Amino acid sequence: MRTFGLSLLLFWLLRSCTCAVGAKVNKHKPWIEASYHGVITENMDTVVLDPPLVALDKDSPVPYAGEICAFKIFGEEAPFKAVVLNRTTGEGVLRATGPVDCEIQKEYTFVTQAYDCGAGPDGAGWKKSHKAVVHIQVDDVNEFCPVFREPLYKASLTEGKIYDSILQVEAWDQDCSPQYSQICTYEIVTADTPFAIDRNGNIRNTERLSYEKQQSYKFVVTVFDCGQKRAMEDATVLIDVKPVCKPGWQDWSKRVDYEPGTGSKQLFPKMHLETCGGPLSGVKVMVELQTNHIGKGCDRETYSEKSLQKLCGAASGSTDLLPAPSPSTNWTASLLTDSGRDSDLIYRFDGRQAANVPDHVVPQNLTDQFTIATWMKHGPSSGLRAEKETLLCNSDKTETNRHHYSLYVHNCRLVFLLRRDFTQVDTFRPAEFHWKLEQICDKEWHYYVINVEFPAVMLFVDGVTFEPYLVTDDWPIHTAKIDTQLTVGACWQGGMVETPRFTQFFHGSLSGLTIRPGRIETQKVISCLQACKEGLDINSLESLAKDIKFHFNPAQSVLVLEGEDLDSINTAMTKVSYINSRQFPTPGLRRLHITTSVLCFGEDLCLNVPDIRAVVLVLPPSEPRITIGGSNRLVRPASDLRSPMGVAPFKELHITSTVMKGDAYGGARRPGVMELMHNLDYCDVLVIGDELNPERESLEVHHSALLGKHLDATNSTSGISIYGVDSMSHYEQTLRQIRYRNTRPASLRDRRFRLTCSELNGRYTSNEFNLEVSVLHHSAPVEHVNHMAAAQPPYMRPVHHPLMIHTLNTHMSGPPPPAATVVIVVCIAALVVIVVIGVYRIHATHQETSREEEDGVKEPEAVWDNSALTITVNPMETVGGGCAVDEEVKEDEREEEEEEEEEEEEEQLGSVTSIESDSSDDEEEEEEDESEAHDMKERMSKLEWDNSTY
C-alpha cells in the first residue's frame, strides 16, 4: 500500500513539471500569408497556390511547439481540403474534395488557418495562426464543340447588287473560358459558291447575281472556336435571288370575268404590295369602279318610271312628262333618243328639240306641295355668257310671256322658278331658288329631286340634300284668263313675238322627268329610285384587322382603305369584291382604277407606287324566254257574258320562263333548258279588230285583285295594261282575274285579244298569246226545215225562220223596213211555220210508231193517225189567218225585244221557237240531245188542230 501511494505521488509531480515546462515552450502562434491565389484545372484535384501554402512557427525547433499539425478551411460548401505535407517545414497543399467544373463555377473564395502541434504529443496547448483568404480560379478545358443557333438560315437579295452583308449566321460554345468559348472562324464548306463569310458570320456575295441565271443558292457553313474545335453539325444557308425590285402591286389580273347571278366575286384574291423592304408608317389605297358609260352612271334597274316608283313605294299620282312614244303619248315622238342603253329610255337634247306637253296631261292642281324629279346629264355651256337652258317650263300660251314655273340651268347653276298667283298669295314671296353644285356640269348622270313645301324648297342630288344658296323674292302674277303651255327641253314664247316659238333650249340628256302634285317624296324613296345595283364590296368585314379603316361613297363605286401594317393592307385588298344584284345585269366592261399612297417615318411620301388599271367584264346573262300558254278559245253562253261579273278569258293562263344553260361535261358544252323565276314589269291585253264599245262592253280587273301586290292597272277601249315590278306568279294571278263583259252578246260574232308581257321595260318580251272569245248560239231550226224539204208537197216552199232572220240581222245597221212589208213577211212566215209543224209532227209520229213496232212496246198515249191526213192551204184564207197569226207574232216580237235576255238564254240552250195559234196555247221546244224526237212527240201530241179546212 505504501508502494502504490509513492508511485502516484511521483506521477503527479512529473505531470506538474511537464505542464510548467510546456507552457514555457509553446510561446508563439503559427504564421501564414495573409492571402493566397490558386488555380485548379477543371476535372483535376490539386490547386496550385501562389504563394505556396507554408506555415512557420517561432517555437521551432522545439518539438511539437514548433511543428504544424493542420490547416483548416472555413467557407460554405467549399469543395476543397488542406493537407499538411511536412510538419517540420510547415508545407501544405490544397486538394479538391470532388469534381470541379468551370461551366458550373469559375471561382472559389474561402478562409484557412494553420495549427501547431501544441506542447506535447497529446496536442495540448496548441496555437492557431491568423485567418488567410484563399481565392481559387478554375481553369477551363476545351471540352465542348461550337453549335449554330439555327440549323437553316434564309435570306433574299435583289439581282445586280453587291451586298456587304446578306445575312449573319451565329454559333456559340458552352466552354466557360474566353479561349475556348469564343468563336474564332466561320467557313463555307460548299465549294464554288459566289459568297463569302467573315469571322463574325456575315455572309456577302462576291459577284453580281442574275435572277435569270439562277434564282436561288444553297450552301453549308461550319464554325471553329478559338481552341480550333469544329462544330459537330454544320448549318445550311438558302439565299433567293429576286429580280430588280420595283414598288407596286403584285399578282393581280388585268381582267376579272363576272357571271350574272353569282353574287360577290373577289377582284384580287392573291394581290400584295411590294415595297422593296422600305420601312413604312402607313398605306392608303383607293379603289374606284368606273361605270359612267353604263346606263345612267351605273347599272340600275331599267324599268319604266311608273314601275320603279311603284317598286320603291312612291306616292301615286305622278305624271311622266317624257314617256315612251305611243299613240296616246305622241308628244315625245320628235325628240332624239339615246339608243343602246339596254331599254333605258333616255332623251338627248342638242339645243334644237323641245316638246309641248298636251293640256290634258299637264297637272292642273299644283298646290303648296309637289315634287319634280328627273335624271340629268349636263356639261358646261360654250361661250362666256351662257344662256338659260330650260328643262321644264310652264308659260303663257299666247299674248304674254309670263313664266309660272320653270326649271333651268344657267352658268352651271340650277334654278327653280315658282311664281304664285294673286289668288294664292298677295305678298312679296320667294320666287327663285338657286343651287351651285359641281354635279350640274360634270357631264355625268345624276338624279335630281325638288321637293316643294312652299315657301321651302329642298333639292336632292343622288340622295344627298342641298339647300339653295340664294333665294330671291318676287311679287305674285296677276290673274289673267290666258292658257298656259308646259314645255320640256325649252320654254314656249307665245306672246309679244311675230311667230310663237321655242326659246332657251336645253343641251344635255334627260330621263324620267316626272311631276307629282300634292305630295313630296321621302328620303327613302329617293334613295331607292337612284340606287345603283352594282358596286364594290368587302367580304367578311369582321375578319379585317383592327387597324384597318375603310369607307365607301354613297354609290359604293369608291372604296378607301387605310392602315399602318402592310400585311393588314394586303389582307384587306384580297377581300375587295365586285357585286351586281340585278338578275339580268347590263353586260360589258367596268373599269377599275387603284391608286396607292405609301407613307414613311418622318416623310410625307417616300415610295411611288404605280396606279393599277383593270377591268371587270360582266358576261351577258342567259336571256329568258317568257312563254304565255293556255286555252286560245273561250266559248261561253250569252248569259255568262251578260252577267255582272262577265267571264274570265284568261282563267287557264300560265306564264313560264326558261333559259338555256351550258353544262360542262367531259370537256364539252351541253346545252340545257332550265326554268327561271324572275319579275315582270307589265302585261298588255290588246283588243284585235274593232275597239271595245263602252256602251255594252268592258274589259277590267277588280281592285281587289291588285291588293298585296306591286301592281297597278289602266284600261281603255283598246285593252287593259297591268304594270309594276312583281313576280310572274302575281302577274299570273292578276291576269286570270281579268273580266270581260258584254251586255248584248247577240251582236257578238267573236272577240279576239292579244296578250304580251315584258321584263325590264321591253328588254325581254313574251310570245304573243292570242285568245278568241265566242258566244254559244242556239242550233238553227232552219236545218230541220231543209232536212224535210224533200218530203214537202209541190206547192210548199221552204222559207227561213223569222226569228233566225232577226238574229242574224241584229248586227246590221240601216233604216227599218216599211210596215206593209213587215206585215206580209210575218204573215207568210207564220203560215209556213204552221205547215212545217204539221209535217214535222207527221214525220215524228211515223218515226215513233216504227220504233214502238221494233221494240214491241206501245205507249199508252194516243197514236197519231196520218193515213187520212191531208193539209190543204187555201190562199184566200191565208190573209185572214195570216193576220191573226201576224198579231200573235208581232206581239211575240215585242215580248222578245222587251225580254231579250230570256230569248237568248233559250237560244243557248238549243230550244226551238214557240209560236201560238188560234187553237193552241201550248209551247213547242226542241232539244239538241238524243231524246229530241221523243220529247217532240209528247209535246206535239197535245196540240189541238182546227179541222175546218180539211
Report pLDDT digits (tens) over 765-814.
999 999 999 988 654 444 433 433 333 333 333 333 333 333 333 333 34
At 318, the pLDDT band (50, 70, 90 cuts) reads: confident
- pLDDT per residue as tens digits for the range 532-543: 889 999 988 787
Answer whether residue 913 shows pLDDT above 60: no
Q: What pLDDT score was predicted for residue 664?
A: 37
Answer whether residue 16 shows pLDDT above 50: no
Rounded percentage of the chain residues whose pLDDT exceeds 90 = 35
Answer whether residue 389 shows pLDDT above 60: yes
CA distance 80 to 90: 19
Answer whether residue 2 shows pLDDT above 70: no
Q: Measured at the alpha carbon of residue 895, what is the angle toward residues 889 and 901, in degrees to the nearest 5? A: 125
CA distance 921 to 830: 15
Q: What pLDDT score was predicted for residue 455?
A: 84
At 424, the pLDDT band (50, 70, 90 cuts) reads: low
pTM (predicted TM-score): 0.56
Q: What pLDDT score was predicted for residue 383?
A: 65
Any idea which of 226-240, 340-354, 842-856, 858-872 has the lowest mean pLDDT?
858-872
Task: Please give the helix or strand (H or E) that residue 842 lies within, else none.
Answer: helix 819-855
- C-alpha pair distances (Å), 655 with each of 628, 679, 755, 774: 5, 11, 11, 23
Q: Residue written as cell 209535246?
A: 939
- pLDDT per residue as tens digits for the range 63-89: 777 888 889 888 777 888 888 888 888
Any idea which of 153-167, 193-207, 900-914 has the lowest mean pLDDT?
900-914
The mean per-residue pLDDT over the stretch 21-28 comes to 63
Q: What pLDDT score was predicted for residue 396?
A: 87
Any idea which of 150-154, 174-178, 295-299, 917-921 has the lowest mean pLDDT?
917-921
Any idea which of 405-409, 650-654, 805-809 has the lowest mean pLDDT?
805-809
Q: What pLDDT score was predicted for residue 865?
A: 41
Answer whether residue 354 shows pLDDT above 50: yes
With a CB cutoff of 8 Å and minimum separation 6, the contacts of 917 are 834, 885, 888
Q: Which amino acid is at 693?
A: N
Per residue, what are the HEC states of 878-903?
HHHHHHHHHHHHHHHHHHHHHCHHHH
DSSP characters over 752-792: EEEEEEEETTTTEE---EEEEEEEEPPPPTHHHHHHTGGGS
Q: What pLDDT score was predicted for residue 924?
A: 39
Residues in the chain: 950
Q: What pLDDT score was predicted for residue 541?
A: 79
Per residue, what are the HEC states of 182-210?
CEEEEEECCCCCCEEECCCCEEEECCCCC
Q: Residue written as cell 308581257?
A: 757
Q: What pLDDT score was predicted for residue 677?
A: 87
- pLDDT per residue as tens digits for the range 504-519: 999 999 998 999 988 8
Instruction: Lay out the sheet containing 152-158: strands in order across.
Output: 152-158, 235-242, 216-225, 183-188
Q: What pLDDT score was predicted for residue 699?
A: 93
Q: What is the end-to-end Cα distance of the chain in Å, rounded? A: 216
Answer whether residue 907 shows pLDDT above 70: no
Average pLDDT, the chain: 79
Q: What pLDDT score was predicted for residue 372?
A: 93
The mean per-residue pLDDT over the stretch 347-365 comes to 88
The mean per-residue pLDDT over the stretch 291-299 comes to 81
Which residue did the predictor score with more confidence, 859 or 240? 240
Count helices and strands in the chain by DSSP H and E runs: 13, 56
DSSP 8-state class, residue 258:
E
Any idea which of 230-244, 534-548, 737-751, 791-805 has the lowest mean pLDDT?
791-805
Burial of 664 (0-12, 13-18, 19+ CB in 10 A): exposed
Any idea which of 5-19, 435-449, 457-471, 829-843 has the lowest mean pLDDT?
5-19
Q: Residue written as cell 206535239?
A: 940
CA distance 300 to 529: 9
At 376, the pLDDT band (50, 70, 90 cuts) reads: very high
CA distance 362 to 486: 7
At 883, the pLDDT band (50, 70, 90 cuts) reads: very low
Task: Please give the helix or strand (H or E) that residue 316 lies within, else none.
Answer: none
Tell me if 354 sits within 8 A of 502, measured CB to CB. yes
Q: What pLDDT score was predicted for residue 785?
A: 39
Smallest Cα–Cα separation from 97: which of 162, 165, 61, 45? 45
Q: What pLDDT score was predicted for residue 438?
A: 92
CA distance 247 to 244: 10
CA distance 765 to 625: 8
At 301, the pLDDT band (50, 70, 90 cuts) reads: confident
Smallest Cα–Cα separation from 457: which of 435, 476, 437, 488? 435
